[in-house]
Structure 1
């Protein structure tokens, strides 16, 4: 995904940049038209808030065009406004005010306060129809959530504990912010992130779900590792994967910045081959667990079939008194453990026959088809 801009023909990239630059001033003016009524309503309701907006970046617009497969002229949600308040209850109050001013798009509302993202991100996201019928994305969060979203968990801890003095951590954060800002305005963000990941994250890859959630995985991870990172059930039923919208083999190695989508089927189960390419311990553990369970089920089924044929021969049932009495004598607590042992070949059915009918002469042992085949192959008589 991050290499997408680099692969675009130079003419197409330049044309898109020209269109974005040409409309930037117009988009900034439009943001003010949306911001002003929100600001007025919050003041009227005596809610202290910081409101700021920005036209979406070139790279963000490019991604929308690529994902939706639409030209620049058909991308309408090019605006983003952020409202920062003091308390959680004010977030929902502001949401109500925004929805009273502008018509919301119901399927574009996300409550990351009630259900935070896996990385701890919390905020309300809503998209509304602004003036002239244009879509505007509005994010509403508290100062604490803003610290967390902008600077990460360490900054969140500092905020909670009221630590105000600057540290080397702040210097590193500002350095990264400065790099990002300059790169977004001057150069290709794809080049920047590509270089940054090589320098800083050589042993890890950072990929995204279609919903935008970030996942950190070991270098060399595959879509199967990603599937298990999302949820065990997703991994167990993973049948195919898409990287940046394209179907790829499950053993494809992931690279930072890619968007990974997992396709599942209830009929799909892990197979032994997956163990040859997965990298995460969770994936390996879950795959082995399923394989063991399947092997146990097959073993149990085989043992059950052998035991049922034996019981049918002597007109016995599993819950007969004879079977209940004989189990402890042959070293088993229950029928299931007996079936498993028979299925594994650890316990031969003739031993059960001898315990049940000690006076009866043993049944002559018949050679299996496999043994007969081997004898014929060796030329034995």
Structure 2
């Protein structure tokens, strides 16, 4: 009996492992053959054996995680047997005694290559290197090996985000920031819109929990009312579409918490002021020949019933997005004068939107023109990666993210060929999109027959002719208006090559000049030159010598002072220790922040990008040269800092603010009237005794918009000011804003 009791939990766990495995096999997007199932079973058995002694932070058997990742790969992403098998074994090489050679021997080269890519990414994610973006740069290099590596990694990240509550707060913040920074945009670019949306929501839940739960609660409170509205709307459309003899389904869904939060932020509105909180989706049955015809027929029926907003028509059927997404979006004025977004798409289009890359490959044989979009993008990624040495890691990932999320415009060559570019692209970007040589040698552009500079921003529908010259070369100022990664990387590559050649000439000149000044050229001398002329690298010194910026007079000055440079440095050494002694006593009185687990009092600066004040939730960021900089947790730069350089983040906590004042900027809007400014200043200065640092109010057509900078003691005092200002006649909106 005692022995049976000990085995009971193990038997239970084995039954649950078996149940989860069978559930995964029953929910596969692709139809599996007998051989497919044998391959998956073999991978499952190996994974179970490899992870048998491991457990997750939740206390569950570790094998639960690979099974759930495989389920996402099989069902939500929709990949086949090879990917499912690789997903089951994705942690085997990294976390167990099995080697890559073992995997190759048992499963062959293809699966071993995928697992090798996944292992490299996992190892990178555990490292704290100087710039964490360098890891993502390496992560993206795996695209050029096998796109399935990225797709399985997205599934792995999705399951980690679904189970993130078992992690400590610091780890939650790092993983969530990393997810919103890179994995959500990657899912978007792969056409996995449902996964992208869930990753965004889960990231928001951990990076800004108060805002997330506030929106979620309000959505739940209005759930029944919204469902009734959608039902009424559907009923009206349904009757008319049935009269036309169409086969269709109508679905209603709420917008995601993240998308509502983003609208509240970008449009500076409250939850109640976000007008399109849900969308209606009409999914119709049609063969390929009639797909477009039926889409526009449904559009005609809907707009006959409800008045459309002409500014909100999005036609991604005539010209699909570069992700392969196809749909017709319209916003109409529905019952009770509410705007409603209506999405019209065929069953095939809906499948592409739901499954992304997997559906793209399924339909590829019959729809080669449209569905080559994903392949085109992967080729662009590979081209970007080939030129990655021209960018530092942070810039590379920023450019890459821009190209993942950017809205698109569609422009034409003089022959009528169509090109897709990010919104905001210039004639120069278009030149590089055609060919690198055309970009390198372009002088200007004719847009719709009229001559414009290379910096001209293009609009959808423009027809562009690029004018080139064999004598033209890329210029440094081109980087000011080139927006695409391809253009920027090619320009930098060309400029760097030219700069390297000039630097080599400068090095030879420098050696000769130093010899004349009786100084031997050596690594030590070069390091002293870099410090003396305050350049970043030795190449910068050589370049400045070649261009004459460092002349003979400057070099003589360097030689004269070089002998005393050691003493010069030593004069500064004691000063580095002085602050901890001389400032210790006053700091104890003035400092209102403590840092790290031991709550130490350290020197810090308040970040100007978000101007934190006492009471705000904050964190410290250790800069390279300027010590600790304190940011608000909801600072616009917070996610980027936490995702890119999490190892530099330290915990910060307010403990006292009574003896220090902080700057806050208030944004006010409303109806203008005589005496308004007097009322505002009276409330702030006279009633609340708060110092106004600056006030700037502008008026147009009876409406005013203003910014007031005040010095406050803490968050409570600031909130009191906001409440008092809202009571003033004419003021419609008062909020705290970030400094420019």
- TM-score (normalised: structure 2): 0.26
